[in-house]
Structure 1
Amino acid sequence: MSDIGQPEQPERSAFEVRNRRLDRRRERIREQLRRDRAGDHKVPTWALALLLLLFIGGWAWLVFSA
């Protein structure tokens, strides 16, 4: 539905919708890569890896000691 005097927007095909969705996804990925390469990390990678290792080790200890 359009206002009086305003032309109706043509309906988009499934191909156009899918293509636009892929373009937006690619742009989000590019933006994420740009931020990652800038190095604006709040927590160093080694600290996250250590935290994960401690978590898995603690979980394994609970499972095997029970």
Structure 2
Amino acid sequence: MTTSPSPQPSQEPGDSGRQRQNWVERRREKIRAEIERNRRGEYTVPTWVLALALVLIVGGWLALIFLA
């Protein structure tokens, strides 16, 4: 049994290039906004860094308790 290819949405040849350019522009704007927030002192520490610090502190205390 032969299956017919699904119809592709019609795209102009330069359409994917514009989509990529729009994505790049949005990404750059997000980066600029983040840098501006950081310069104003509104930066935050990522959650995974806080979780890692907590694990290291608790692990260190447990090591001191059980190995001492």
TM-score, structure 1 as length reference: 0.51
Measured in 2, the distance between the counterparts of 1:16 and 1:25 equals 14
Partner of 1:17: 19
CA RMSD of aligned residues (A): 3.7
1:8-65 Cα offsets, whole Å, 9 max, x none, are xx8561111011001000000000000000113578xxxx87x92x531313554784
State the identity %: 32
Instruction: Please show how residues 1-66 of structure 1 align to structure 2 within 5 Å.
Output: 13-41=15-43, 52=53, 54-62=54-62, 65=66
Q: Greater RCO between the two (CA within 8 Å, min separation 6)?
A: 1
Cα distance in structure 2, aligned partners of 1:36 and 1:23: 20
Gapped runs of 5+ residues in structure 2?
1-10
Quickly say closer, same or farther: Cα 1:42–1:33, change in 2 above 3 A: closer
Give the number of aligned pairs: 50
Instruction: Report the TM-score, using the length of structure 2 for normalisation.
Output: 0.49
Cα distance change of structure 1 residues 42 and 13 upon mapping to structure 2, 3 Å threshold = closer
Query: 5+ unaligned residues in a row in structure 1: which ranges?
Result: 1-9
